[in-house]
Amino acid sequence: MIKKNLLLTPGPTPVPSEVLLSMARPAIHHRTPQFMAIFKEMNENLKYVFQTKHDVFTFACSGTGAMEATVANLLSGGDTAICVQAGKFGERWGEICKAYGITAVIIDVEWGDAVTPEQIKKALDQHKNAKAVFTTLCETSTGAGIDLKAIADVLRPRAAVLVTDAISALGGMELRTDEWGVDVVVSGSQKGLMIPPGLGFCSISPKAWQLVEQSKSPRYYFDFRAAKAALDKTDTPYTPAVSLCIALNEALKMLRQETLEQAWARQRRLCEAIRAAMLALGLKLYAKKPAEVVTAVCVPQGVDGEKLVKIMRDDYGITIAGGQEQLKGKIFRFASLGFVNEFDIMTGISCLEIVLAKLGYTFTAGAGVGAAQKIFAA
């Protein structure tokens, strides 16, 4: 059988052909007016997607690099920070803080659940010296989303800054950085932004910038001060990932043309259809408050979850994600992130049905596809 590959994973995600082709053009040098024009446009488009008028720094790294850069630039050893831990990616904030000698006050949230503004308020009241609160907008490991706007309201009158990992959420879930008052938004290139892995981003508010100037943590390549000095001149301190920047600019132009509001609405609709399909198949959703870019689904009794993902990928070319850590084999994650439309979702659900049936799960054939199609036809 001819194999066609479709990525329905929470990163990496499908890359549009216009974007792929932009990377196939002959290389250009980065210290040229040619690159500068692209870089300028890319930065303006990034501000639009981040919904901020402040700086967005771009680094040649994956999302985790941008997370580490944020910790190193905001805090110093001995500082206290509050870290929300509701899954694998929330845990990462705590681990990075630990690596930099920062005392992490952990708000431990049951996996699948979302932190509440009240929990953040309580932690801040108990730890008045906390300089930052680290959150995850979409906890990709569990598929749960948080109410970041309400959390930002808690932080607004306080000294602590609000940081959110929007690596999977940016471009897919509503996020109004300046309007809500989110001080640092961290993201990566291979999820909602429709390009391959390799770029990490940090947006920064003036409130957070004060911490950057005070931080005593060691940093060199990821020093926000160097990044800002260069960015002020539409430049980068070191060689940027030229081809990825070119690709990003093309992808952001597409996103801008669709409009961010439309992209958010598209993701909402895709996730609504995925959820309806799963329920129609008699499956249970894992997250209590599902995010709008990835849907975590409990593997039904008697079905081998790892085999499900493997057969879909190896026999049919459709890649979804399994569970991580304690959720290995227990959930699968069906993403709609990035360059994905209704028919990609229909294809994914159809493949899921075929493989579920192969693995001995009983349901009415076509029930999931039908439920999704009903939503798309409405």
Ligand X SMILES: *Cc1c(COP(=O)(O)O)cnc(C)c1O
Q: Which residues of the chain form contacts with ligand X (CB under 6 A)?
A: 10-11, 62-64, 89, 136, 140, 165, 167-168, 188
DSSP 268-295: HHHHHHHHHHHHHTT--BS-SSB-SSEE
Q: How many helices (H) and strands (E) does the chain have?
A: 14, 14
Residue with Cβ nearer ligand X (294 or 371): 294
Residue with Cβ nearer ligand X (134 or 209): 134
CB of 65 to ligand X, least distance (A): 7
Residue with Cβ nearer ligand X (65 or 300): 65
**Cα–Cα distances in angstroms (integers) from residue 45 to residues 184, 246, 248, in the given order:** 17, 12, 9
Residue with Cβ nearer ligand X (214 or 326): 326
Q: Is the peptide bond before 12 cis (omega within 30 degrees of 0)?
A: yes
**339: phi > 0 → left, psi -120 to 50 → alpha, else beta; which?**
beta
How many other CB atoms are found less than 10 A from the CB of residue 29?
Answer: 9
CB of 90 to ligand X, least distance (A): 8
Burial of residue 323 (CB within 10 Å: 0-12, 13-18, 19+) is buried
CB of 11 to ligand X, least distance (A): 5
Residue with Cβ nearer ligand X (51 or 168): 168
Are the CB atoms for 55 and 183 separated by under 8 Å?
no
Residue with Cβ nearer ligand X (44 or 110): 110
Q: SS3 of 175, please?
A: coil
CB of 343 to ligand X, least distance (A): 24
CB of 51 to ligand X, least distance (A): 18
CB of 311 to ligand X, least distance (A): 24
Residue with Cβ nearer ligand X (49 or 281): 49
Burial of residue 80 (CB within 10 Å: 0-12, 13-18, 19+) is middle
CB of 283 to ligand X, least distance (A): 22
CB of 165 to ligand X, least distance (A): 5
Q: What's CA 270's distance to the chain center, in Å?
A: 16
Q: State how far the Cα of 177 lies from the Cα of 124, in Å rounded to an integer.
A: 21
Q: Enumerate the β-bridge partners of residue 162.
A: 133
Residue with Cβ nearer ligand X (144 or 231): 144
CB-closest chain residue to ligand X: 63
